[in-house]
């Protein structure tokens, strides 16, 4: 059995998917980019701001599901340029305290709306 999670505090999906889906105790959050939920506009004045917006969108979905960053067990980070890894990694890491989730970081040829970073996560609800 699965449960769909959607919140107006994160960007609406731009395709045939949901913001997140609970399958049992696992929450799968779709890849988030730096879209503003209210305006639908990208927030990309610089890489730091873009990354913080991605993490804020993830936080909004986690909150709607009754979870926080401590519940995340796995993340996937997609970068347009692996040269951005250090800066994204530092910002990403600042959202966790203690046990970090498993993760992979992948450079890709292109991302939706030509963004620089997209992050998806899997969380566990105890």
In tens, the pLDDT along 83-117 reads: 999 999 999 999 999 889 999 999 999 999 999 99
- Helix or strand holding residue 118 (H, E): strand 117-124
Tokens at 93, concatenated: 């890491």
pLDDT tier at 68, thresholds 50, 70, 90: very high
- pTM comes to 0.97
* Domains, the chain, ordered by start: 2-124 (3.30.1330.40)
Dist. CA 9–CA 95, nearest whole Å? 18
**Distances in Å between the alpha carbon of 26 and those of 14, 73, 81?**
23, 9, 30
Tokens at 47, concatenated: 């890489």
pLDDT at 75: 98
């Amino acid at each position: 059995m699965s449960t769909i999670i959607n919140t107006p505090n994160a960007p609406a999906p731009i395709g045939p998917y949901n913001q997140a889906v609970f399958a049992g105790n696992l929450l799968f959050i779709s890849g988030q980019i730096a879209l503003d939920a209210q305006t639908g506009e990208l927030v990309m004045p610089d890489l730091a701001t873009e990354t913080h917006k991605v993490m804020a969108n993830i936080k909004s979905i986690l909150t709607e599901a009754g979870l926080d960053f401590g519940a995340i067990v796995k993340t996937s980070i997609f970068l347009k340029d692996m040269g951005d890894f250090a800066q994204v990694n530092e910002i990403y890491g600042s959202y966790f305290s203690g046990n970090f989730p498993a993760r992979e970081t992948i450079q890709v040829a292109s991302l939706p709306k030509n963004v620089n970073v997209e992050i998806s996560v899997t969380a566990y609800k105890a």
